Amino acid sequence: MYALQQAMRAVRANWVASVSTIATMILSLTVLAGFSLLTLNLNAWLSRLQSELELSAYLNDSADEAVLIDTIQSWSEIRSVDFIPKESAINDLGRDFPSISVATDLVGNPLPDRLDMRVVDPRFVSTVSAKLQGLAGVTEVQDGSDTAETFVAINESVQVIGSILIIVLLTSSLFAIVNSIRAAITARAREIEVMRLVGATREFIRAPFLIEGFLLGLISAGVALALIIPGYQFVLYRLSDRLQFLPLVRDLWLLIRVTGLLFALALLVGIVGSAISISQHLREEV
């Protein structure tokens, strides 16, 4: 209780540094949460696009589609294989373009049989395409490699940007905590000297400063989450009707995990920042 009282007194006494630290951490946590939620939604959107990415292998008249399907399904990169006979393909085309049916009656069906495939990961598109071109009976392969490479590039760019952003924001929050605890140590320098002279232990002297960092992280996390959760719900409400084709993340358990991780991260930064400041500025005093 003594350590908690001293920590709360330090927060009030150095309110300028405390408010500055809390504001910095709130901003950092809010940006991190916003980026995390944006990444989750972007990944959901990319996952849908990736699941719809198809390769098409066109077959000649002598191709044995059963053998080809069995061979392709044995590949670990393949998620599914569908055989589309040329009759079904021309019928589908005729429904969209009725004039095609008239031309077909005159010249016959010019379309070949084909196999439509979906891969487990878009990174495998080029590998699967090369394998398909080596199969007997396959005359042409359309692999959508440009689209697959775009998906991969977006995912990798998001991961790199996210890593840089996390490092920068956490570092700024850490320095804010260190400076705030340093101000508290400076303000209590005479009191710390007296405690040292009367035989106070290291843990007794350091405990209030660790608790102060914990409190700063706790307050920052609480305020940030109070802004983030309603803000995200508001964004979902405004966008759900206008962007119905996008798979927006609404999984409550997933949102709880994200906010819980941010909460734990704020407490960790508070404690680590306090420990760093104590180790630097109380070495001689204790």
Angle between helix axes 86-96 and 99-107 (nearest 10 degrees) is 140
Which residues, other chains included, contact 19 with Cβ-Cβ below 8 Å and sequence gap of 6+?
Answer: none
pLDDT at 285: 47
pLDDT at 180: 74
pLDDT at 217: 81
pLDDT at 42: 76
pLDDT at 286: 42
Which residues, other chains included, contact 70 with Cβ-Cβ below 8 Å and sequence gap of 6+?
Answer: none
Q: Report the predicted TM-score, pTM, of the whole model to 2 decimal places.
A: 0.63
Question: Is 208:14 a contact under the CB 8 Å cutoff?
Answer: no
State residue 117 phi and psi, 5-degree precision: -125, 150
pLDDT at 108: 63
Question: Is 21:181 a contact under the CB 8 Å cutoff?
Answer: no
- The residue whose two tokens read 């066109």 is 58
pLDDT at 99: 63
Please name every residue paired with 82 in a beta bridge, in sequence order, or none if there are none.
Answer: 116
pLDDT at 284: 47
> Would you call 284 helix, strand, or coil by DSSP?
coil
SS3 of 182-250: HHHHHHCHHHHHHHHHCCCCHHHHHHHHHHHHHHHHHHHHHHHHHHHHHHHHHHHHHHHCCCCCCCCCC
pLDDT along the chain (286 residues), means of 10: 66 71 82 81 74 82 87 89 83 66 61 86 82 88 73 77 81 78 72 72 74 82 85 78 68 79 83 77 53
Q: Return d(Cα 282, Cα 273) in angstroms, integer.
A: 14
* List of domains in the chain: 2-49+151-280 (no CATH), 54-143 (3.30.70.3040)
